[in-house]
Amino acid sequence: MLRAMSDIQNPGPDFSGAGPVEYRPAEAAPGAGLEGVRARAEVLLLAIPGVTFVGIGHGPVGGQALAVGVLDASVAARLPREIDGVALLVTITGPVDALRRR
């Protein structure tokens, strides 16, 4: 049997006049998590000649991974398989040339 809201005997606490409620999400420590790993790895990986980009992507089994672009297979062969326990998903991009602003 369906009842209208006005038919409920014990509606519970009335929060209509409670005012604003503070929102305090748990703050992650700076440099924690996958974004922190990416930031630290980016500095190291972009120092290697032939690495074109570092980002966050999806690994082969659906988990997150560090996406790394490289010029060719010889650069890919010099990279580790993982950094700080996060797998590297390496893609051969060839040369990357950003468009100039006009």
At residue 99 the predicted structure's pLDDT band, cuts being 50, 70 and 90, is confident
Q: Is the pLDDT score of 12 beyond 70?
A: no
Give mean pLDDT, residues 26-37: 71
Helices (H), the chain: 33-46, 73-77
| Cβ-Cβ contacts under 8 Å for 101 (sequence gap 6 or more) | none
Nearest-CA neighbor of 55 among 45, 67, 64, 63? Answer: 67
User: What is the model's pLDDT at position 5?
Assistant: 55
